[in-house]
């Protein structure tokens, strides 16, 4: 599977590439991220579980209990073909520590002040705008999340437009953050089982921790070697996750 070249993109206008005056990531949030689960967030989780359950979605978690007590982690989720994988993980994972997602601002917060205000209050999102964001924006956001003792979530395919029968190319951002912070990565696989009526059921499968800097010296930050290594490591992680995902497909059929 090393010939993976397909990239997943989301479609949006050029105007959507310009970040708001409030900025991106933590600047957009207006305060530091937090790890505790507030009453409003717990109420939202309960409501989502009830509503999605009424629509037919059942969420089954495998291995997620480990992230409740093991310290901050980078959660790398795939495949990303729908817009509610993050909701499925939010329901399946322990309520605390919180998961803070890297999200595309044009889609999530760029559609109204009410949505933005609600998301700022509830937390769990640090949006970026792809036209201007570099690794430093993501690194600063992730570092703030880790300082709070929370988890940082990434969908490394970068969009929902990947092929239905395989993973799209992983972008190397999560690996770069792991290299520079030393925070381990937890690969998370999403398996959707379609139903004749209603929403599909979902398996959320967390694998053992892994790290790009476990077996070799860390490359110099900002060097071409670092980027090359992060890209190759991300591709190997995609292959590993896809192999397990395909096994799950076979067992479910």
The domain spans of the chain are 22-252
Q: Please state, rounded to an integer, the average pLDDT across all residues of the chain.
A: 86
Task: For the full predicted model, state whether its pTM sits above 0.85.
Answer: yes
CATH of domain 22-252: 3.40.1130.10
pLDDT at 52 over 60: yes
Mean pLDDT, to the nearest integer, of 140-152? 96
| Tens digit of each residue's pLDDT (9 = 90 or more) over 192-210 | 888 777 788 899 999 999 9
| Tens digit of each residue's pLDDT (9 = 90 or more) over 162-178 | 888 899 999 999 999 99
Higher model confidence: residue 126 or residue 14?
126
- What is the pLDDT at residue 214? 74
Mapping DSSP onto H, E and C, the string for the chain reads: CCCCCCCCCCCCCHHHHCCCCCCCHHHHHCCCCCCCCCHHHHHHHHHHHHHHHHCCCCEEEECHHHHHCCCCCEEEEECCCCCCHHHHHHHHCCCCCCEEEEEEHHHHCCCCHHHHHHHHHHCCEEEECCCCCCHHHHHHHHHHHHHCCCEEEECCCCCCCCCCCCCCCCCCHHHHHHHHHCCCEEEEEEEEECCCCCCCEEEEEECCCECCCCCCCCCCCCCHHHHHHHHHHHHHHHHHHHHHHHHHHHHHC
Highest averaged pLDDT of the listed ranges 20-29, 102-111, 141-150: 141-150
Q: pLDDT class for 132, splitting at 50, 70, 90?
A: low
């Amino acid at each position: 599977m090393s010939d993976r070249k397909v990239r997943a993109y989301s479609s949006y206008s050029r105007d959507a590439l310009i970040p708001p005056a409030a900025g991106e990531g933590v600047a957009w949030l207006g305060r530091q991220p937090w790890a505790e689960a507030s009453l409003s967030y717990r109420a939202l989780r309960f409501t989502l579980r009830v509503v999605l359950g009424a629509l037919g979605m059942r969420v089954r978690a495998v291995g997620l209990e480990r992230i409740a007590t093991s310290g901050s982690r980078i959660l790398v989720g795939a495949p990303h073909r729908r817009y509610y994988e993050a909701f499925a993980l939010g329901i399946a994972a322990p309520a605390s520590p919180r998961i803070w997602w890297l999200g595309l601002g044009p889609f999530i917060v760029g559609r109204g002040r009410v949505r933005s205000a609600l998301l700022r209050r509830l937390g769990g999102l640090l949006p970026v705008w792809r036209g201007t964001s570099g690794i430093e924006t993501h690194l600063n956001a992730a570092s703030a999340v880790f300082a709070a003792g929370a988890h940082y979530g990434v969908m490394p395919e970068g969009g929902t437009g990947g092929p239905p029968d395989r993973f799209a190319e992983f972008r190397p951002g999560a690996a770069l953050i792991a290299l520079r912070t030393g925070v381990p990565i937890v690969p998370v696989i999403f398996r959707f089982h379609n139903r004749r009526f209603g929403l599909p059921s979902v398996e959320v499968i967390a694998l053992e921790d892994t790290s790009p800097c476990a077996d070799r010296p860390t490359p110099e930050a900002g060097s071409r070697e670092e980027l090359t290594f992060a890209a190759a490591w991300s591709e190997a992680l995609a292959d590993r996750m896809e192999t397990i995902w395909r096994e799950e497909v076979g067992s479910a059929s």
